[in-house]
Structure 1
C-alpha cells in the first residue's frame, strides 16, 4: 500500500499526518434513522448474545433484544421502536453473522428506564447497572466494561485513566464528545471512581486538541481528584499500555492486563455511556461516530443509533465527491477494511474512514532490507519482522515466543516498512492461528 502518512522515526511510536481538520469543528448532529436496523449478536469481545425476542415481536427504544451469554459478553438493546422482522445472517464487521433485524415504525416509543433515576444507588448497584446496560469499550476494543471494573480480589486498583487520546488521523468523535458533553463526562468519571473505590483519575489528551483540553480543564476545576494530562501527539498514544506507562510509570507485563499494575483504562465514549446508564437509566443504544476521508463530500460527526447501516451515513454526508478506493471501519492505521455499506454501526464504531484510490493502492512487496524501522516504531517493543517471518514459515510456536499475542494491532510496522511487507496482516493472522490452536 502506498504510504498514506509521513512517518518519522520514533521509538515506540510514529508521527502521522493529522487529517482531523474537516470534522474537528463540526458539532455532532443526529444521523438519519433508517427503516431497517441491524443488530449483530456479537458486537463485543467474548461470547455472542442470545436473542430473547422472536420474529413479529414489537420492541421499543431500550427493549432488550439479546442477553449476554457468560461473563465475557454484553446485552444488546433496540435503538428504535418497531417490529422484529428477521433473525438471520447479515453483513457485519466480521463477515456474515447472525443479526436481529428491526423495522422502524418511526414512533420512537421508549421502554421503561433501567431503574428509577430518582433512587440513589450504591457502588455495587451501579456496577450491576453498567453490566445490565450492555456497555463495552467504545474506543474499538469492545471489552465488556463491567468485567474491566471487576478485577480479581488480589488485584487492587488505585488509578483510573480516561482515554481521550484519539490518535487515528481522521477520528474526532471523542474530541467532539469532550467539547459538547464535558460536564456529563466528568460525572461519568466520578461514577467510575466510586465503583472502583479509587481516589485518583487522569483524563489523557493529546496536545493537538486545544479546544477539548481547555473545556475539560474548566469542567474539572472543582474536582481535585481528577487531573488532565496532555500528552505528545504521536501514534498510537491512546493504547492502554502506553497510557499507563506514560501516566504512572508502571509497565504492564507481557501477556498481562492493566489490573496487573493496579490501573483501569476506559475510553471517553464508554465513560459517557456509564453516565447515561447510572444517572438516566439508559442502556447503550447510540454513539458518536465520525464519517470522514478525502472522498466524502461533507464529512460529519453523528449521533448514530446502533444498528444503522453505513450507507445511511454516506447519504447523510451527501455521498462522495470522488470514487473511494477503500472503506474502513476505524482509521487507516488500525481499522478493518469493509466491502459493503450494508454493515451496521455497532458499539465500537468510532470512525468510518474512506480513502481515495491513490491512497489505498498497494505497492509491490520487496525483500526486507533489515532497516529495523518496524522495531523503532513498535509501541510495545516487539520485533514485527521476526514475528511475520515466523508466521510465513508456519512456526506458530516461534511467533508466540516472540510476543505475537502482545501486539496491539496499531499498524505502525506496516506503514513504516519500505519493503511493503504486510507485517500487521501477518501478525494478526498469527494471533488468530495461535488462539485457535490453544482452543483446539
Structure 2
C-alpha cells in the first residue's frame, strides 16, 4: 500500500542569513520620498493632495472607492513638491507623490486609535490602516479579512516562515515584537469570530519558536507550528498544507478551505494601528548582498529611495550588477537603485557580476530534478516544451496555472533552463487565450 508524504516537496537552499541576530535599526528620514499610488493588488489610488500642500505623518494622500484598494498615507511631514509619473518597481507606469521633508515628522491630527465594538468597525479600521499583505503579495488586508464565506472560515495562519535566503527581518520582528503580534492575533480571532490561530515558523528560527510557545502556552486557541527547513515553506499553498493538511488548488482563495493567512508583520502593524492610530507608513526590510558594505535590518519611511538606504548601509563595495526587491528566489530585479520602497517590500539585495551572471543554458538531459522539486507536482520540462509550441491545450493539461512561481525548478536544473520564468509566460498565454474566447 503506497503512503502519502505528510509534507509537500521542495528544495534545500543556502540560507545566507547574514543579518541574523541584527536588531532592526531606524533609518533617518530622507530629504525626499516618492510614494507610488499603486502599492497593492487592485485599483490604483488617486492622489488626495496637490502640489504645494503641507502634509503630516499618517495623513491620507491617496485613496480610491473601488472595492479592492488600500488607502495610502504620508510617511513624512513636509511639502508636496511634485506628482511624478514614471515606471515603478512593479514595472507599471504610475503616479508617485514627491514630498520634500521638513525633518519635523509632525503627526497628523487624524492619527487617533480607532473605536471598535464589532466586526464591521474592525474591518473599517483595518481598511483605514492602509494595510496590505506585507509578505510580498500586497493584497488589501481588509478584503482578506472579509471573505465571502465567513461561516466556513475558522482558522488564522500567521506566516513566520521567511524561507527565502538572505532575508531575516521577519525573524527579528518576531523576536522584538512577539507580545504585540500575539495581541494582534487575539484581536483578529475575536472580531472575525475564528476558532484558532496557527503561527507557522520555519525550524531554523528556534528562538522565535520558543518565544511564541511560551507566550501562547495558556492560549488554547493559538498554537505554533514548526515548519520544515525547506524552501518554499512560506508560499501560501505550502504553508496552508503544512499547518492544516488542507490542499489549496490554483484559482481558489485560502478562505475556500476555511483559512485566512497573514504575515506576522501585517498582524504587528495592525495591532500597532489599533493601539496608536498610526497607519502603515514605515517598512522594515533586510538590506544585504555581496556589494553592500554593512548589511542591516532597517526600518524606513515608505517612499524612501533605495540608493538612500544603500548609503545608510555604508554604500556599495563594488559595482552592483543586479539589485533585487525581495529575495533571490521570488524577488523582482530592478533596473536601478532609484526606485523607492513600497508597502510589500521586505528586502533589498545587491550583487556584483560574480553573483549576477548565470551560466549559459544547455540541453535538457531529462534528469527529472525539476519534477522531484516541484511542490505542486508539475512537470516543468513538459510545460517548457508546450510553451515553445504555443500549445495552450497542453499547458492546461499539464496544469500550468498551478505553478506558484517559487523557482524550485530553475534552481535545481543542471541545464540552467529558466523554467519558472517560462511558466510565467505560459500562464500569461493561457490567460490571453481565455480572454479571446
* TM-score, L = length of structure 1: 0.93
In structure 2, the residue matched to 1:103 is 100
- Bigger mean CA deviation after superposition, 60-69 or 147-156: 147-156
After superposition, give the CA deviation of every residue in 1:163-221 in whole Å (9 maximum; x if it has no partner): 00000110011001001111111111112112321121110001111222222222223
**What value does the CA root-mean-square deviation take over the aligned residues?**
1.8
1:208 paired with 2:201, answer: no
In structure 2, the residue matched to 1:149 is 145
In structure 2, the residue matched to 1:183 is 179
Compared CA separation, residues 295 and 439, structure 1 to 2 (3 A):
same
- For 1:105 and 1:144, the matched residues in 2 are separated by 30
The match for 2:424 among 414, 418, 428 is 428
- For 2:168 and 2:228, the matched residues in 1 are separated by 17
Compared CA separation, residues 307 and 439, structure 1 to 2 (3 A):
farther
Between 1 and 2, higher relative CO (CA 8 Å, sep ≥ 6) is seen in 1
Gaps spanning 5+ residues in structure 2: where?
Answer: 1-6
Q: Please tell me whether the aligned partners of residues 157 and 263 of structure 1 are also in contact (alpha carbons under 8 angstroms).
A: yes
In structure 2, the residue matched to 1:5 is none
Q: How far 1:388 sits from its partner (Å)?
A: 2.5
In structure 2, the residue matched to 1:194 is 190
SS at match of 1:324: coil
- For 1:143 and 1:435, the matched residues in 2 are separated by 20
- Bigger mean CA deviation after superposition, 396-405 or 154-163: 396-405
After superposition, give the CA deviation of every residue in 1:322-347 in whole Å (9 maximum; x if it has no partner): 33331111111111111211111111
Gaps spanning 5+ residues in structure 1: where?
Answer: 1-9
- For 2:338 and 2:117, the matched residues in 1 are separated by 40
SS at match of 1:273: helix
Q: How far 1:34 sits from its partner (Å)?
A: 1.0
After superposition, give the CA deviation of every residue in 1:369-394 in whole Å (9 maximum; x if it has no partner): 11111111111222222223222322
In structure 2, the residue matched to 1:233 is 229
- Bigger mean CA deviation after superposition, 179-188 or 66-75: 66-75
In structure 2, the residue matched to 1:318 is 314
Q: How far 1:245 sits from its partner (Å)?
A: 1.1
In structure 1, the residue matched to 2:109 is 112
In structure 2, the residue matched to 1:370 is 366
Q: How far 1:120 sits from its partner (Å)?
A: 4.6
Residues 215-226 of structure 1: matches in 2 within 5 Å?
Answer: 215-226=211-222
Q: How far 1:438 sits from its partner (Å)?
A: 4.4
- For 2:48 and 2:102, the matched residues in 1 are separated by 20
Compared CA separation, residues 154 and 345, structure 1 to 2 (3 A):
closer
Q: Please tell me whether the aligned partners of residues 11 and 376 of structure 1 are also in contact (alpha carbons under 8 angstroms).
A: no
SS at match of 1:124: helix
* TM-score, L = length of structure 2: 0.94
- For 1:418 and 1:258, the matched residues in 2 are separated by 34
After superposition, give the CA deviation of every residue in 1:50-72 in whole Å (9 maximum; x if it has no partner): 11111111111011111034122
- For 2:51 and 2:229, the matched residues in 1 are separated by 49
Q: Please tell me whether the aligned partners of residues 208 and 233 of structure 1 are also in contact (alpha carbons under 8 angstroms).
A: yes
